[in-house]
A and B are shown apart, each in its own frame.
Chain A
Amino acid sequence: MKKFTIIDILQGPKAKFYSVLLEGKRQSEFEEFLTNFRDNPEFSEIIQNIVIKIDQMARVTGAREIFFKPEGPSMVFRINIGRDETYPLRLYCLRYNDQVVLLGGGGYKDLSTVRYQDKEELNNAVKLLRAVDKSLKEEEASFTDLDLVSGKQFELKGL
């Protein structure tokens, strides 16, 4: 069974952001997402938009629900970028409350793709976050403060 670790991305007075590091990988899901898209001119604007939003949420506004969009029936959200038509990139996360967000990965959603399930990259990112959520809940991790589980290794269940 695969294992994962929760790692810190950004801690601010209003919200804390974490990501998931899968066993055997060098980068967390969020770091991999940034690495894949940061130097691509087609996506640089949206990547900038995402990092500023995370920074502002951590320091100033908190991770309010208005800055996210739900993705399907579970806890999975994506960062709301306001202009889905012109910004075809998705970053998925588990938003537990206004203070705690676990960032996953994501990818390119071209305009012809209607549902995230139709794109393997996006579907995998959502499925991974659901499995992480399930694993953390089974371990009864406290979502009001993921610092308590940061650095601890968990078994990935249900993937």
Chain B
Amino acid sequence: MPNKIFEEVLNNVPKDVKRSIARSMRIAARIDEILKEKGLKQSDLAKMLHKSESEISKWLSGDHNFTIGTIDKIEDVLDAEIINIPLKPAGTKSKMPRPSKSKDLTRRIKK
């Protein structure tokens, strides 16, 4: 059972803020995982990317807003995949939104 005050504060955090930090932390954790697997340190990654160690430390703090370009570069120098986006096999239909919601969305867009 989570602590009461902790839970109250956590529940008041806007969803988009939660999602953004959670995603940054997962990316940072994945990079950390790859570095460990390959026996590398943050200083090695800094050298590979021609960045300072303090910049890499900020990237991995869980707050950094990674661009796709930065992720590409890190994947390239580490020769490992950071983000894997699974797509549905060809011919598989995506689920359409329910009609009522779809109409509602159209109404909101028209407004």
* Chain A positions near chain B (C-beta within 8 angstroms): 8-10, 27, 30-31, 34-35, 38, 47-49, 51-57, 60-62, 64, 66-67, 80-83
When the two chains form their complex, are residues B61 and A66 in contact, meaning their CB atoms are under 8 A apart?
yes
Docked Cα-Cα span, A56 to B22, in Å, equals 6
With A10-B6, A66-B32 in contact, do A61 and B61 touch (Cβ < 8 Å)? no
Q: Is the CB of B62 within 8 A of A48?
A: no
Determine how close the nearest CB of chain B comes to the CB of A63; give it in whole angstroms: 11
User: Does B29 lie within 8 Å of A61, measured CB to CB?
Assistant: yes
Asked if B21 and A49 sit within 8 Å, CB to CB, the answer is yes
Q: Is the CB of B61 within 8 A of A52?
A: no
**Cβ-defined contact, B6 with A9, below 8 A:** yes
Selecting from B10-18, B72-80, B96-104, the interface stretch reads B10-18
Complex Cα–Cα for A55 and B12 (A): 13
Pick from A35, A52, A67, A83: contact of B13, CB under 8 Å: A52
Determine if B3 and A61 form an interchain contact, defined as CB atoms under 8 angstroms apart. Answer: no
CB distance from A124 to the nearest CB of B (A): 21
Is there an interface contact between A64 and B9, defined as CB atoms closer than 8 Å?
no
DSSP class of A's interface residues: helix, strand, loop or mixed?
helix
CB distance from A79 to the nearest CB of B (A): 9
Q: Tell me what chain B mostly uses at the interface: helix, strand, loop, or mixed.
A: helix
By a beta-carbon cutoff of 8 Å, the part of chain B in contact with chain A is 2-3, 5-6, 9-10, 12-13, 17-18, 21-22, 25-26, 28-29, 32, 42, 57-58, 60-64
Q: Within 8 Å CB of A61, what residues of B? A: 25-26, 28-29
Looking at A31, A55, A83, which has the most chain B CB atoms within 10 Å of its CB? A55
B13 touches A48 (CB 8 A): yes
Given contacts A61-B26, A67-B25, contact A51 B6 (CB under 8 A): yes
B32 touches A64 (CB 8 A): yes
Whether B63 contacts A9 by the Cβ 8 Å rule is no
Compute how far the CA of A49 lies from the CA of B62 in the bound complex, rounded to whole angstroms.
9
Q: Are A52 and B3 in contact (CB-based, < 8 A)?
A: no
Is A80 within 8 A of B61, CB to CB? yes
Within 8 Å by CB of A82, from B10, B22, B26, B63, lies B63
- Cβ–Cβ contact B22 & A60, under 8 A: yes
Q: How far is the CA of A60 from the CA of B10 in the complex (A)?
A: 16
A66 touching B6, Cβ below 8 Å: no
| A31 with B32: CB separation less than 8 A | no
Residues of A within 8 A of B2 (CB): 9-10
